[in-house]
């Protein structure tokens, strides 16, 4: 596969979500800081106390989040799935306010190695969320995991293999299978292809786009690579210094950026 280009081919998109569709996840004025005193860092939110990040992602829709390193993308992503508590602001999943881990939300990380236990077979890692959800029928669990492995382009026989036996791209496929296991309505991918070579990047990106279409999930795709984000996103949000400076349909934002910062980001792409 070729290096993704800003004006490169797009993954075909389904019917765009409309405002009438209920958001799978909705965030209202999120803010989050770390540390205290002199070490205080504002990761998400603005200097004005009332200023936070608000967004909504609907079923069957992909929201890309771009921005330079340190702009608050990961902090925002972790709050959206409930891995990190907002300092202030609210999050709704499927229309209801949630606190803590949202059952219908899953996260895929940049480095699947750090999220996979090296001492457990990948099949067992994928089975964990099924058992946590109360499934007890071991034969059914194994069958479901094998089906998930096949769905992400691996083989059923990979169930008994260990993470170190897989390539980076294959490990990311395992991470995706594990995220899919509890049948989430929202998946947040934080730099899911940034650690992969370009050919593998294209394959894993295409897989995510395909799954998002097929399963009708809401996908949040965080990446610093603007070309990769254009391939999969319906809308894009541009983050800078903890705030979204511009948000809109990805073609509009990329072709006619309204914010000078977005223009600078796009101009920096070779
Ligand atoms: P991005 O994903 O866009 O690179 P992050 O959300 O990781 O940005 O980080 C935003 C800011 O918050 C950075 O200045 C980062 O150093 C800071 N930050 C993130 N996580 C923590 C943490 N656990 N403790 C202290 N500072 C943090
Ligand atoms: Mg990050």
Q: Which of 3-17, 20-34, 204-218 has the lowest mean pLDDT?
A: 3-17
The closest residue, in CA terms, to atom 18 on ligand 1 is: 43
Of 162, 176, 173, residue with least CA distance to 123: 162
* Residue-level pLDDT at 97: 87
pLDDT digit string (tens) for 142-158?
Answer: 999 999 999 999 999 99
Tokens of 264: 């600078």
Please give the number of the atom of ligand 1 that sits closest to the Cα of 224: 3
**Which single residue is written with the structure tokens 């936070």?**
52
pLDDT digit string (tens) for 166-222?
Answer: 999 999 999 999 999 999 999 999 999 999 999 999 999 999 999 998 999 999 999
pLDDT digit string (tens) for 229-245?
Answer: 999 999 999 999 999 99
pLDDT digit string (tens) for 111-139?
Answer: 766 678 889 999 999 999 899 889 999 99
205, 31 contact by CB (below 8 A): no
Q: At what angle do helices 122-132 and 168-180 cross, to 10 degrees?
A: 20
107, 81 contact by CB (below 8 A): yes
CA of 125 to the centre of ligand 2 (A): 24
Supply φ then ψ for residue 192, to 5 degrees. Answer: -65, -20
* Residue-level pLDDT at 1: 46
Task: Output the pTM of the full model.
Answer: 0.92
ipTM for the whole complex: 0.99
* Residue-level pLDDT at 181: 94
Percent of the chain with pLDDT over 70: 91
CA of 77 to the centre of ligand 1 (A): 11
Ligand nearest to C-alpha 243 = 1
Q: Which of 2-16, 63-77, 181-195 has the lowest mean pLDDT?
A: 2-16
Q: Which of 5-14, 41-50, 61-70, 259-268 has the lowest mean pLDDT?
A: 5-14
- The rounded mean pLDDT for the chain is 91
The closest residue, in CA terms, to atom 5 on ligand 1 is: 72
Within 13 Å, how many C-alpha atoms sit on residue 224's CB side? 11
Separation CA 232–CA 253 (nearest Å): 14
Tokens of 195: 């650690």
**Which single residue is written with the structure tokens 């070490």?**
39
CA of 51 to the centre of ligand 2 (A): 21
Percent of the chain with pLDDT over 90: 79
Alpha carbon 144 to its chain centroid, in Å, reads: 23
* Residue-level pLDDT at 100: 74
Please give the number of the atom of ligand 1 that sits closest to the Cα of 68: 3
* Residue-level pLDDT at 117: 87
* Residue-level pLDDT at 17: 59
* Residue-level pLDDT at 11: 57
Q: Which of 9-18, 84-93, 94-103, 216-225 has the lowest mean pLDDT?
A: 9-18
- Protein residues whose CB sits closer than 6 Å to any atom of ligand 1: 34-35, 41, 43, 67, 69-75
Separation CA 101–CA 85 (nearest Å): 9
**Which single residue is written with the structure tokens 């029928």?**
137
Query: Which of 46, 70, 190, 239 to mutate to test ligand 1, by most ligand atoms within 8 A of the CB atom?
Result: 70
Please give the number of the atom of ligand 1 that sits closest to the Cα of 76: 6
Of 31, 36, 68, residue with least CA distance to 46: 31
Q: List alpha helices for 49-197, DSSP H.
A: 73-81, 112-115, 122-132, 138-151, 168-180
88, β-bridge pairs: 31
Of 69, 71, 63, residue with least CA distance to 27: 63
Q: What is the dihedral of CA 216, 222, 223, 228, to 10 degrees?
A: 10
């Amino acid at each position: 596969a070729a290096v993704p280009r800003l004006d490169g081919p797009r993954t075909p998109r389904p019917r765009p979500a409309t405002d009438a569709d209920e958001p799978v996840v909705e965030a209202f004025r999120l803010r989050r800081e770390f540390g205290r005193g002199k070490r205080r860092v504002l990761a998400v939110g603005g200097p004005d106390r009332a200023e936070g990040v608000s967004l909504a992602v609907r079923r069957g829709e992909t929201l890309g989040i771009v921005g330079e390193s340190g702009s608050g993308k990961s902090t925002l992503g972790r709050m959206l799935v409930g891995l990190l508590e907002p300092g202030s602001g609210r999050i709704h999943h499927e229309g209801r306010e949630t606190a803590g881990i949202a059952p219908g939300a899953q996260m895929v990380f940049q480095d699947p190695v750090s999220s996979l236990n090296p001492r457990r077979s990948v099949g067992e890692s994928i089975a964990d969320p099924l058992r946590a959800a109360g499934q007890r029928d071991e034969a059914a669990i194994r069958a479901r995991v094998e089906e998930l492995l096949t769905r992400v382009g691996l083989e059923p026989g990979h169930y008994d293999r260990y993470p170190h036996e897989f390539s980076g791209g294959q490990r990311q496929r395992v991470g995706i299978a594990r995220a899919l296991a509890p049948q989430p309505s929202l998946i947040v991918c934080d730099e899911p292809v940034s650690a992969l070579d370009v050919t593998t990047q294209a394959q894993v990106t295409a897989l995510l786009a395909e799954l998002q279409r097929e399963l009708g999930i809401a996908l949040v795709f965080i990446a610093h690579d603007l070309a990769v984000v254009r391939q999969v996103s319906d809308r894009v949000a541009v983050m800078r210094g903890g705030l979204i400076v511009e948000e809109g349909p990805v073609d509009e934002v990329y072709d006619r950026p309204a914010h000078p910062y977005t223009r600078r980001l796009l101009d920096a792409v070779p």
